[in-house]
Structure 1
């Protein structure tokens, strides 16, 4: 219980599937409490005893089904079952009595549905509950209003229910837009980080080659440490630590031969190829998930420079205050592109120097709006020949 409450408090740091799981558990607990607190009144409803017993059995089965779905991590299915359970509970009470308390169950149903914060679920199930609620109000008008109420006061019940629905509909749409924007921002940021890590890995490999060092996955001390650690961990998990050495040999072999050649090798078994495919994201000779984790972990222990407002600013128009400085910066950019290998080859390695025409195409690309202003691009186009003659590659 303590661990569950801790997870509820820290839902901002949990993946979406875990958040949904917590919501399902809370909704299931709420439904059990509501059912237990109100089930005694069901014996006074206008149902036969057989129907009452059958409904109780269905609710009991639904509770057990929700528990099993949560237990086996079928969260989306559990969400649908809890909503269907809530709607069924609402229909049971509204068909059994026509009092004001039955009318409140429509709000309970909408609250449960909106609690999940899933737009398509709210549009489907929420609209169904709203339609059924309006039908119930109009059909049971005489029992919802007092004889002394003014004519048409029943429409107040309809308006309140519709407003309740619309408010949470707009809130769900706003949340959906917010999640979409955050996801797009995360994808964009992840691509930027990925580019940085690609260049970092490339330069680390260049440094290793210049120092004539061997890749660390070929280093004997590294392989010995990984071998001993793998055996130890495997023994703690399944008491067969020696079997992991075969997987470790395959892991090193993938680095040397490449995954594609292993998959194409007809002499290897299907199970070996499956294991090799699973090991692909843990390779260390290119930017895999494992390399990204290592880099992110390493950077957490590196001190960074103090905060500067333009620390992550890349636009020349905002980095350089004067026009002269902007022209000089633009000249530096052109000279670097015209004399250093920055164009990628077929293998994704920057080993080709861009030509003048390629630089012109790059400056005219829409992506350059994040780095250059329209005035700077226009200045470059008007003076492209001067840039080529004085700053281009000689010879």
Structure 2
């Protein structure tokens, strides 16, 4: 037990970096060329167009690039997702999909209603496919020749819940429309929403919806969503940071077709000789994917709760959560989660060398009325971990975190 407590001290900052990565989500976005001449439309009308969109079928190819401003995590993430007996197979989505939070990737997608979706990640000559077909979820990693399979409980849809509140199966990555819905839910007095011109997306005319914080202190410069002018389907999602440089998320459809994909697109049979892992017994993997699946939409959902003053974990407006649960501070885009880990910050030399080097590259030492601590930085999500084991995390500047910690004393 003592060893576990000791390990938790330096695992917490690494987990914070993981949370930052998870908030970016897995969202196809835009590759634009040319500005089509379209009829004028108001932001309200464009939002209504998105809400009325009911695209059930599509197929296409897109590129996704992410830049969190993080140093390389090579050699760190694999240890967090074990393989072999008691661990996760290499084809398990909870392990594989984390690769999308850094670098650039090409993906193929297909969808036929809520019961059939397919995503294929192309990595050189290797492919990784994630397929949802009715009550089955399959994943295949050609590099390792491993298959992951999970069967939904009878009567549960693709995003339903199994008995006792457990997720019935792993969710596929969020669509642009789902992400757009989460962002729009968070809009309120703290948000500016305008139409920022037009764009050409994979040969289709689109309007650009531009969403910006009105508050100071947020790390988010803007969220841009390109919306298909004909059917209202969100085609673009670009996230820019106030720190400038490359977008945090910049990915785009290079081809898109709204016709119904062929039925055999979603067929899958494990190749002969491939190792097959059944996911039902892998609760740790399920829980990890459930958290990862919340993605960027989850972050904006929390921001929206802060803006709208929804009730805390104890049922009290603005109240503190239970043990280990976050207390939400502030509102809107500058909402900060305060978490009391109960574990002191790691001491220098306590973590393994490669982990300590990663943490040092992320963190800056700070001090104030709260005492002292370390700010761990990305281009969007920053976290302050105090020396007495409290964490302040949000899409806000380091100064905002220090001010929140000082005000909590």
Instruction: Give me the TM-score of the superposition, normalised by structure 2.
Output: 0.18
Instruction: Give me the TM-score of the superposition, normalised by structure 1.
Output: 0.19
- Relative contact order, higher structure (CA 8 A, sep 6+): 2
- Comparing both structures, which one devotes a greater share of its residues to helix? 1
- Comparing both structures, which one devotes a greater share of its residues to strand? 2
